[in-house]
Amino acid sequence: MKKWIGLTGGLLSAAAVGLGYYISNRIMYMEKKDDEFIKDREIQASRLDLDYYNSLPKEEVIIPSRHGYNIKAVFSKPHNTNRFVIVCHGVTESKYNSIKYMNLFIKLGYNTVIYDQRRHGESGGKSSSYGFFEKDDLKVVVDELIKREGDDVFFGIHGESMGAVTLLLYAGSIEDRANFYIADCPFSDFREQLAHNMKSEIKIPPKWVLPLASASLKLREGYSLREISPISVVQNIQKPVLFIHSADDTFILPHMTKALFDKKQGPKEIFIDFKGKHAQSYNDNPEQYENVIQQFLTDFVEKPEKILV
């Protein structure tokens, strides 16, 4: 009898390890979009004009990550100013998806930096970590900007989806170095996000699966799901933050952005009345999106007295 109990326990343990490994694989290696697909999509949607993009004064830069790979970035400086915006794309995308935001901020008078997150586009890195390692890569991009433009460089950071999580983790747990942040459709906590996504994909209750996936990630990558939680650090950000979300988003639910906004201290603004699916607020509402950002910059960035409120 004891032999059968031991065998059953061993099989269950092996199954649990295997399930944790499978889920962590799904997390680490989410299928990416091909770079050419992203470029062609943006061209077809008239969000990328190659003639205009190629005419911009810009420099392609290779930035070493402290995690042992290179980050591919593009610094564009069409304006004679020390004002910049760094743009962080989401998971499965690349810097080609950031060009629409680059164009928006250039129109608003800012120079720009776009780059490929780890494992995406032309950057190195074997896995995605949804902000955990990406926040360190954002730090080296910021450091490169400061090295080039000086300590008095004035800059903001815009991020979409995972890119928004990246900037919140960077500002809340590494350094609140930027002058402002724009977080478009971030999740507030990765465990909660995965539980939401798993409901329609896996019939096993998330509360049983997530600890296995977290343990597997800790063993394989050195971090747990608990460590990817913008809601746990957003209160440390003192600079102005604009939170953006589409009311129609069913992938990352809008209440996550509302929770982040509520916990953030100091200057902040929120707009969650856009229409469209996940990460489509700009694509489906370009004029409204630009107006919201322009108003935020006017109210919280261009007027120092509001920053101090």
Pick from 226, 249, 282: which residue ends a domain?
A: 226
Q: How many domains does the chain have?
A: 2
Q: Which of 174, 156, 195, 117 is nearest to 296 (CA)?
A: 156
Q: Report the pLDDT value the prediction gives residue 20, as an integer from 0 to 100.
A: 86
Burial 217-246 (b: 16+ CB within 10 A, else e): beeebeebbebbbbbbbbeebebbbbbbbb
Cβ pair 239, 171 in contact under 8 A:
yes
Query: DSSP secondary structure string, 211-228?
Result: HHHHHHHHHHHS--GGG-
Same domain? For 25 and 76 the reply is no
Q: What is the largest CA-CA distance in the chain?
A: 80
Domain assignment of residue 209, given as a range? 1-30+193-226
Same domain? For 20 and 150 the reply is no
Pick from 205, 226, 247: which residue ends a domain?
A: 226
Pick from 177, 202, 226: which residue ends a domain?
A: 226
Same domain? For 136 and 222 the reply is no
| Angle, alpha carbons 226-230-150 (nearest 5°) | 125
Q: Report the pLDDT value the prediction gives residue 92, as an integer from 0 to 100.
A: 98
Which CATH number fits the domain that encloses residue 145?
3.40.50.1820
Q: What is the pTM of this model?
A: 0.93
Same domain? For 150 and 245 the reply is yes
Same domain? For 177 and 131 the reply is yes
Q: Which ranges of 48-202 does DSSP label H, i.e. alpha helix?
A: 50-55, 95-107, 134-149, 162-173, 190-201
Same domain? For 220 and 164 the reply is no
Cα distance between residue 189 and residue 226, in whole Å? 8
Same domain? For 103 and 149 the reply is yes
Same domain? For 222 and 288 the reply is no
Per-residue pLDDT of the chain in tens (309 residues, 90 and over written 9): 444 444 334 433 455 577 889 999 999 999 999 999 999 999 999 999 999 999 999 999 999 999 999 999 999 999 999 999 999 999 999 999 999 999 999 999 999 999 999 999 999 999 999 999 999 999 999 999 999 999 999 999 999 999 999 999 999 999 999 999 999 999 999 999 999 988 766 666 778 789 999 999 999 999 999 999 999 999 999 999 999 999 999 999 999 999 999 999 999 999 999 999 999 999 999 999 999 999 999 999 986 544 333
Same domain? For 221 and 272 the reply is no
Same domain? For 198 and 103 the reply is no
Helix 206-221 with 2-28: angle, nearest 10 deg: 70
Cβ pair 111, 81 in contact under 8 A:
yes
* Nearby residues of 22 by Cβ (< 8 Å), 6 or more positions away: none
Same domain? For 280 and 167 the reply is yes
Number of alpha carbons in the 13 Å side-chain half-sphere of residue 96: 22
Same domain? For 221 and 260 the reply is no
Tell me whether strands 180-184 and 241-246 are parallel, antiparallel or unpaired.
parallel
